[in-house]
Amino acid sequence: MKQLVQKLKNGSMQVLEVPIPQLQNGRLLVRTHYSLISAGTEGSTVATARKGLFGKAKERPQQVKQVFDTLKSQGPTQTYRAVMKKLDAYSPLGYSSAGKVVSVADDVKGFAVGDLVACAGVGYANHAEVVAVPANLCVKLAPDANLKHAAYNTVAAIALQGTRQADLRLGENCAVIGLGLIGQLTCLMLRASGIKVAGIDIDPYAFEMARGHCVDVGFERSTSGIAEKIKTFSGGLGVDAVVITAGSSSLDPINFAGELARKKGRVVVVGAVPTGFDRDPHYYRKELELRMSCSYGPGRYDPQYEEKGIDYPSAYVRWTENRNMQAFQELVYSGKIDIDYLTTHEFTLKDAAAAYDLILKRSEPFLGIVLRYDVGKPLSFEKIVTGKAKAAGRVSLAFVGAGSYAQGNLLPNIPKNDQNVVCKGVMTSSGTTSRRVAERFGFEFCTADENDIFLNDEINTVFIATRHDSHAAYVKKGLQAGKNIFVEKPLCLSIAELEQIEEILLAAGSSAPLLMVGYNRRFAQLARLLKEKMGRGSISMIYRINAGSIPPESWIQDPEIGGGRIIGEVCHFVDFLTFICGALPVRVYAAALPEPNNLQDVVNVSLEFANGSIGTISYFANGSKSLEKEYVEIYQAGVTGILRNFKELGIYSGGKPERKKLINQDKGQKMMVESFIKTVKDGGHVPIPHAEILAVSRTTFKVLESLHSREALLV
A 10 A CB-CB count for 633 gives 16
Cβ-Cβ contacts under 8 Å for 156 (sequence gap 6 or more): 185, 325, 328, 339
Looking at residue 74, its pLDDT comes to 61
Burial of residue 686 (number of CB atoms within 10 Å: 0-12, 13-18, 19+):
middle
Instruction: Using the 3D structure, point to which of 372, 394, 416 is the last residue of a domain.
Output: 372
Contact status, residue 214 vs residue 197, Cβ threshold 8 Å = yes
Query: Is the residue at 464 inside a domain?
Result: yes
Cβ-Cβ contacts under 8 Å for 435 (sequence gap 6 or more): 16, 17, 18, 19, 90, 384, 386, 446
Query: Is the residue at 297 inside a domain?
Result: no
- One-letter identity of residue 214: C
> What's the structural domain count of the chain?
4
CA gap 657, 640 in Å, rounded: 10
Contact status, residue 172 vs residue 241, Cβ threshold 8 Å = yes
Instruction: Using the 3D structure, point to which of 485, 502, 517 is the last residue of a domain.
Output: 517
Q: For residue 326, which of 25, 32, 119, 94 has the smallest C-alpha distance? A: 119
Cβ-Cβ contacts under 8 Å for 300 (sequence gap 6 or more): 294, 306, 321
Cβ-Cβ contacts under 8 Å for 682 (sequence gap 6 or more): none
**What CATH number does the domain containing 686 carry?**
3.30.360.10
563 and 702 fall within a common domain: yes
Query: Is the residue at 672 inside a domain?
Result: yes
Instruction: Using the 3D structure, point to which of 372, 398, 430 is the last residue of a domain.
Output: 372
Query: Is the residue at 379 inside a domain?
Result: no
Contact status, residue 172 vs residue 196, Cβ threshold 8 Å = yes
Looking at residue 20, its pLDDT comes to 94
508 and 527 fall within a common domain: no
Q: For residue 471, which of 489, 459, 455 has the smallest C-alpha distance? A: 489
552 and 692 fall within a common domain: yes
254 and 401 fall within a common domain: no
Contact status, residue 546 vs residue 624, Cβ threshold 8 Å = yes
136 and 163 fall within a common domain: no
Q: Which domain holds residue 32?
A: 2-152+303-372
Alpha helices in 631-711 (DSSP H): 669-682, 690-709
Looking at residue 535, its pLDDT comes to 78
Looking at residue 381, its pLDDT comes to 85
CA gap 650, 642 in Å, rounded: 5
Query: Dihedral through CA 102, CA 105, CA 111, CA 115, nearest 10?
Result: 0
**What CATH number does the domain containing 46 carry?**
3.90.180.10
**What CATH number does the domain containing 457 carry?**
3.40.50.720
281 and 308 fall within a common domain: no
Contact status, residue 308 vs residue 137, Cβ threshold 8 Å = no
DSSP state of 347: E
CA angle 192, 194, 198 (to 5 degrees): 90
CA angle 232, 233, 235 (to 5 degrees): 65
Looking at residue 50, its pLDDT comes to 67
Beta-strand (E) ranges in 185-238?
196-201, 217-220
Give the strand pairing for 239-244 and 173-177.
parallel
DSSP codes, 282-305: IIHHTT-EEEE--TTSTTTT-HHH
592 and 694 fall within a common domain: yes
Q: Return left, alpha or beta for 225; rule: phi > 0 is left, psi -120 to 50 is alpha, else beta.
A: left
* Range 122-137 burial, b when 16+ CB lie within 10 A, else e: bebbbbbbbbbbbbbb
End-to-end CA distance of the chain: 49
542 and 491 fall within a common domain: no
Interhelix angle 61-74/76-88, nearest 10 degrees: 140
DSSP state of 332: H
- One-letter identity of residue 39: A
The DSSP bridge partners found for residue 541 are 615, 634
The upper half-sphere exposure of residue 593, i.e. CA atoms within 13 Å in the direction of its Cβ, equals 11
- One-letter identity of residue 646: F
Looking at residue 51, its pLDDT comes to 66
The 3-class secondary structure across 396-422, one letter per residue, is EEEEECCCHHHHHHHHHHCCCCCCCEE
The DSSP bridge partners found for residue 635 are 540, 640
CA gap 208, 188 in Å, rounded: 15
In the chain (715 residues long), the average pLDDT of successive 10-residue segments reads 87 90 94 94 74 59 62 62 65 95 96 98 96 97 98 97 97 97 97 97 93 94 94 95 95 97 97 93 96 96 92 96 98 97 96 92 93 93 87 92 94 92 95 93 95 96 97 98 97 98 94 95 97 90 96 90 95 98 97 84 97 97 93 95 97 91 94 96 92 97 96 96
534 and 552 fall within a common domain: yes
Query: Is the residue at 108 inside a domain?
Result: yes
Query: Is the residue at 377 inside a domain?
Result: no
Query: Is the residue at 624 inside a domain?
Result: yes
DSSP state of 539: -
139 and 162 fall within a common domain: no
Q: Is 269 helix (H, G, I), strand (E, B) or coil?
A: strand
H/E stretch holding 616: strand 614-620
Query: Is the residue at 707 inside a domain?
Result: yes
The DSSP bridge partners found for residue 346 are 370
Burial of residue 430 (number of CB atoms within 10 Å: 0-12, 13-18, 19+):
buried
415 and 365 fall within a common domain: no
166 and 140 fall within a common domain: no
Sheet holding 713-714, edge to edge: 658-661, 648-652, 639-644, 630-636, 540-546, 614-620, 602-609, 585-592, 713-714
Q: What is the C-alpha radius of gyration for the chain, rounded to an integer number of angstroms? A: 29
